[in-house]
């Protein structure tokens, strides 16, 4: 089997390492490797097949094009060209699937070739294959997940080692966990794209990532971490989606998670995906969600599926768009923080609107844990406080149990 690899960064190198490690079992020939700057690879043992010119890739006779460049362009054009030339494609690119999944799946079908993307969600965790194959008979009605290794790594190191946000982000970049532009990680876009891929496959209709309520971790500070500790919780960037009456609701946001909740056990670059199926009940997948070897392993598995002619049906991307609701319409708890607060006024307003609340801190800022009937109720209180000018700034961190 002949493959061409576009991109020789973290994941590209992980894939090549796995191909080398298995060469006694599988005969895979790498015909070319596309990079942006081939001068970086002069001393590589693959220097003779490393190129900056996409035409060098397509002039070879290849069975699979593996796209590991990332981003939308020129990756989209390269994948499209491969599919139209009846070449199978494997990609780890969640940005691409979240944006152009429908077009590419259609194109693969029309040309009778495979488009596989296991590594696009959960890094090394085999999760798309179990979802689309092993769970085919189940109706999945909800899922919750930690889907971004970089942010989980940052939050874990801030919590466990007291390190600063900036220094851990730098470490995550050095370890190859972060996206080329880490804004995608820390603002929650990457996790939302993954949640949209999972939701599309699970709910059999197109779910768009921008339709979820979306909030990243860039504003989480040491005070949040310390409040979490004080309350026996951790902070995790969680994605959740539910399907009810043909509608989906969902979010990606940092939340407080009790120390006895399964999610709080998932630290560093690990990810978890928990599905709720009508027959299987709750089913969890846990493993490394980012990094060279784990992601290389997932890409290799897709290559092997094509090698062994295991073709899965994934036409969910071409189905109709499903509407997404953003807020939580049932009982919830949230930590509210107020900067430069008029403390008495805020507490008296909260007292008038809500039956149960605890003041966590009233030193240099005011922090209150509220127990409300819905997220709307909490948002209303925050609006009132803002309108009355009772504080300079307020923050809300939901707690999930």
Ligand X SMILES: N[C@@H](CC=O)C(=O)O
Q: Which of 12, 101, 124, 149 binds ligand X (CB under 6 A)?
A: 149
- SS3 of residue 206 by DSSP: strand
Contacts of 244 (CB under 8 A, 6+ apart): 141
Contact status: 100 vs ligand NDP (CB under 6 A):
no
Phi first, then psi: give them for residue 275, nearest 5 degrees: -100, 150
Which CB, 184 or 347, lies closer to ligand NDP?
184
Q: Which of 11, 108, 125, 214 binds ligand NDP (CB under 6 A)?
A: 11
- Please state, in angstroms and rounded to a whole number, the distance separating the CA atoms of residues 72 and 99: 8
Query: Residue 268 Cβ, how far from ligand X at the closest point, in Å?
Result: 11
Which tokens in the block code for residue 203?
């709910």
Q: Which of 165, 177, 203, 270 binds ligand X (CB under 6 A)?
A: 177
Q: Are 207 and 320 in contact (CB under 8 A)?
A: no
Interface segment toward ligand NDP; rule CB under 6 A; list 33-41, 99-107, 132-140, 154-162: 33-41
Which CB, 177 or 213, lies closer to ligand X?
177
Q: Which of 33, 82, 290, 378 binds ligand X (CB under 6 A)?
A: 290
Judged on CB neighbours under 10 Å (0-12, 13-18, 19+), 96 is: buried
| Residue 150 contact, options ligand X, ligand NDP, none, Cβ 5-8 Å cut-off depending on partner type | ligand X
Query: Which candidate, 208, 200, 204, 195, places its Cα nearest to that of 289?
Result: 195
Which residue's entry shows tokens 């189905």? 319
Identified catalytic residue from 94, 157, 194, 243? 194
Query: Residue 72 Cβ, how far from ligand NDP at the closest point, in Å?
Result: 10
The binding track of 250-289 with respect to ligand NDP, each residue x by CB under 6 A or -, is: ----------------------------------------
Query: Which candidate, 71, 125, 146, 127, places its Cα nearest to that of 291?
Result: 125
- Please state, in angstroms and rounded to a whole number, the distance separating the CA atoms of residues 169 and 150: 7
| Residue 312 contact, options ligand X, ligand NDP, none, Cβ 5-8 Å cut-off depending on partner type | none
Q: Which of 16, 18, 65, 69 binds ligand NDP (CB under 6 A)?
A: 69
Which CB, 25 or 73, lies closer to ligand NDP?
73
State yes or no: is 109 an active-site residue. no
Sheet containing 64-67: order of strands: 50-51, 29-34, 2-6, 64-67, 88-91, 115-116
- Please state, in angstroms and rounded to a whole number, the distance separating the CA atoms of residues 62 and 4: 7
Site for ligand X in 178-197 (CB under 6 A): 178-179, 185, 190
Angle of helix 292-307 relative to helix 10-21, nearest 10 degrees, comes to 60
In the complex, the residues that contact ligand X under the rule CB under 6 A are 123, 148-150, 177-179, 185, 190, 289-290
**Catalytic residue ranges:** 194
What is the binding site for ligand NDP (CB under 6 A)? Answer: 7-12, 34-37, 40, 68-70, 74, 92-94, 119, 123, 176-177, 179-180, 290-291, 295
């Amino acid at each position: 089997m002949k493959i061409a690899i576009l991109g020789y960064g973290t994941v590209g190198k992980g894939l090549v390492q796995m191909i080398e490690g298995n060469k006694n079992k599988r005969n895979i020939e790498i015909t070319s490797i596309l990079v942006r700057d081939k001068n970086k690879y002069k001393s590589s043992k693959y220097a003779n097949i490393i190129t900056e010119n996409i035409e060098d890739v397509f002039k070879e006779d290849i069975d699979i094009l593996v796209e590991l460049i990332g981003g939308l362009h020129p990756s989209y054009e390269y994948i499209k060209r491969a599919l139209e030339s009846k070449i199978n494609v494997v990609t780890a690119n969640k940005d691409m699937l979240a944006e152009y999944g429908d077009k590419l799946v259609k194109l693969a079908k029309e040309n009778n070739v495979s488009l596989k993307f296991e590594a696009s969600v959960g890094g090394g965790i085999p999760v798309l294959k179990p979802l689309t194959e092993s769970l085919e008979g189940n109706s999945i009605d909800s899922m919750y997940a930690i889907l971004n290794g970089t942010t989980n790594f940052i939050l874990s190191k801030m919590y466990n080692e007291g390190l600063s946000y900036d220094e851990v982000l730098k470490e995550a970049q050095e370890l190859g966990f972060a996206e080329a532009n880490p804004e995608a990680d820390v603002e929650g876009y990457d996790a939302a794209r993954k949640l949209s891929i999972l939701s599309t496959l699970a709910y059999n209709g197109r779910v768009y990532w921008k339709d979820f309520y979306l909030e990243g971790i860039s504003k989480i500070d040491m005070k949040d971490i310390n409040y979490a500790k004080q309350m026996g919780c951790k902070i995790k960037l969680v994605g959740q989606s539910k399907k009810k009456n043909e509608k989906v609701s969902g979010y990606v946001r940092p939340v407080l998670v009790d120390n006895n909740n399964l999610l709080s056990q998932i630290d560093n670059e690990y990810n978890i995906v928990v599905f709720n199926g009508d027959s299987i009940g709750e089913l969890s997948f846990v493993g490394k969600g980012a990094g060279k070897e784990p992601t290389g392993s997932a890409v290799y598995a897709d290559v092997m599926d094509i090698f062994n002619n295991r073709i899965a049906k994934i036409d969910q991307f071409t189905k109709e768009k499903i509407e997404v609701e953003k807020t939580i319409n049932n009982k919830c708890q949230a930590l509210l923080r107020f900067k430069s607060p008029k403390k008495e006024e805020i507490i008296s307003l909260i007292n008038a609107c809500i039956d149960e609340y605890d003041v966590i801190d009233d030193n240099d800022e005011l922090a209150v844990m509220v127990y409300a009937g819905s997220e709307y109720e909490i948002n209303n209180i925050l609006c009132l406080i803002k309108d009355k000018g009772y504080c300079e700034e307020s923050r809300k961190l939901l707690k999930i149990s």
